[in-house]
Structure 1
Amino acid sequence: MQKIDLSETGLRAMNKMLHGQSEHTNQTTWEIVNPKGSHAIACGLDAPIEVTVKGSTGYYCAGMNQQATVNIHGSAGPGTGENIMSGKIVIEGDASQYLGATGHGGMIVVKGNASSRCGISMKGVNIVVQGNIGHMSAFMGQSGNLVVCGDAGDALGDSCYEARFFIRGEVKSLGADCEKKEMREEHLALLQQLLDEAGIDADPTEFTRYGSARTLYNFDVDNAGAY
């Protein structure tokens, strides 16, 4: 294991070391200590390595991630996992706002709660939250899956496209053009697969599926008030 003390190495040098790892690296396991809420930790990784951050992180941790697994042993600041393409991010604590924004692939797991705008403009990422999520989550969600074992705040899935939302608890309100959907066998199987991958023990039959009503895909003057 490669260990980096961020208080000694510095953010730029640490990220340079991580970026220097190729697909065939033998330095596959890294541990970062003393993060002290620093921003942009482990951003832009593109190698099959595992990075464990021992503490809480600031803005944009593990942004633009590809292939790597990033474990955060603390809470994560705004924009964690923004534009994730592949790989996995696991947050042991809570996540701040716009988690996984514009994510195209991979998985983000939150063992605590996630704040507002979780999964905003998601484009294929899978996000699994063991706790609750805040308002305006999955706004303009285009593709991917948002799984919430707790409750969801106001305006879930506002102006969404083809992203799927599985909520076990209560939804305070649905956003424009988001509606409750039938939970079919293929959705139960998909949800079980996502929960298993996230390492969360929950019964898929306890969840409700939500998604786009598909009335705002094209402008219609009769729906003008919903835009």
Structure 2
Amino acid sequence: MIKLNLKKDSLRKVNELLQNLDQKSNDRSFKIINPDGNHAICAGLKDEMDVTIEGHVGYYCAGMNMKADVTVNGNVGTGVAENMMSGSVHVKGNASQSAGATAHGGTLIVDGDTSSRCGISMKGIDIIVKGSVGHMSAFMAQSGNLVICGDAGDALGDSIYEAKIFIKGEPKSLGADCEKKNMNKKDQDLLKSLLKKASIDENQLTHFKMYGSARKLYNFNIDNVSEY
């Protein structure tokens, strides 16, 4: 494992190293120490590697991630795993707002809680939150899956498209065009696989409810004008 110290090396130098790996090297394991809340740590990674960050980080950690597996042993600021394409990000603490925003793929696991707009405009990512999420989570979520093991704030799934929301607790309120759905066998198998990703006991599956789009806002209808 290669140790990178942000008290000795600049953030730019560390990110450039991780973004431009020696393709002939087999050493793809890194540990970053003394992150001290820096922003955009591990942004733009595009190769398979394992990176562990020891401490709290700022905005946009692991943004635009592709293929890398990033673990944060601490809390993260706004936009963790924003626009992620593949790979995984595991936050061992809490996450601020807009976790997993616009992400097209990969897996984001948050062991604690997330703030508002978790999964906003998500486009294929799997997000598993072991705690609760804030208001407007899954706002305009286009595809992918959001699993919430706790509760959700106001306006869950507002203007949702084809993403699926699985929640163990209760949403404070639902957003426009979001409704409770019946879970079929395919949905249950999907949820089981998502729980397994986050090492959550699959026996909890029966405690979850599923929400998705009522599909009333796909095309303009004067009868639904108050919902727009």
Instruction: Calculate the TM-score normalised by the size of structure 2.
Output: 0.98
Q: What does the per-residue CA deviation read over 1:45-80, in whole Å, with 9 as the maximum and x for residues that have no partner?
A: 011100000000000000000000000000010011
Aligned residues of 1:23 and 1:48 also touching (Cα < 8 A) = no
Aligned residues of 1:23 and 1:47 also touching (Cα < 8 A) = no
- Extract unaligned runs of 5+ from structure 1: none
- Give the Å deviation of 1:25: 3.8
In the alignment, the residues of structure 1 paired with residue 124 and residue 25 of structure 2 have an alpha-carbon distance, to the nearest angstrom, of 28
Which residue number in structure 2 is paired with residue 88 of structure 1? 88
- Give the Å deviation of 1:130: 0.3
Give me the CA root mean square deviation.
0.9
Secondary structure at the counterpart of residue 32 of structure 1: strand
Q: What does the per-residue CA deviation read over 1:162-199, in whole Å, with 9 as the maximum and x for residues that have no partner?
A: 00000000110000000000011111110010110122
In the alignment, the residues of structure 1 paired with residue 157 and residue 25 of structure 2 have an alpha-carbon distance, to the nearest angstrom, of 40
Which residue number in structure 2 is paired with residue 177 of structure 1? 177
Which residue number in structure 2 is paired with residue 161 of structure 1? 161
- Give the Å deviation of 1:201: 2.1
Report the count of equivalent residues.
227
Instruction: Calculate the TM-score normalised by the size of structure 1.
Output: 0.98
5 Å matches for 1:9-158?
9-21=9-21, 25-158=25-158
- Give the Å deviation of 1:205: 1.1
Q: One-letter code of the match for 2:201?
A: D
Q: One-letter code of the match for 2:69?
A: T
Mark the CA change 1:177 to 1:4 in structure 2 (over 3 Å): closer, same or farther. Answer: same
- Give the Å deviation of 1:87: 0.2
In the alignment, the residues of structure 2 paired with residue 29 and residue 14 of structure 1 have an alpha-carbon distance, to the nearest angstrom, of 14
- Give the Å deviation of 1:204: 1.0
In the alignment, the residues of structure 2 paired with residue 165 and residue 187 of structure 1 have an alpha-carbon distance, to the nearest angstrom, of 11
- Extract unaligned runs of 5+ from structure 2: none
Mark the CA change 1:70 to 1:119 in structure 2 (over 3 Å): closer, same or farther. Answer: same
Q: Does 1:213 align with 2:219?
A: no
Q: What does the per-residue CA deviation read over 1:129-174, in whole Å, with 9 as the maximum and x for residues that have no partner?
A: 0000000000000000000000011000000100000000011000
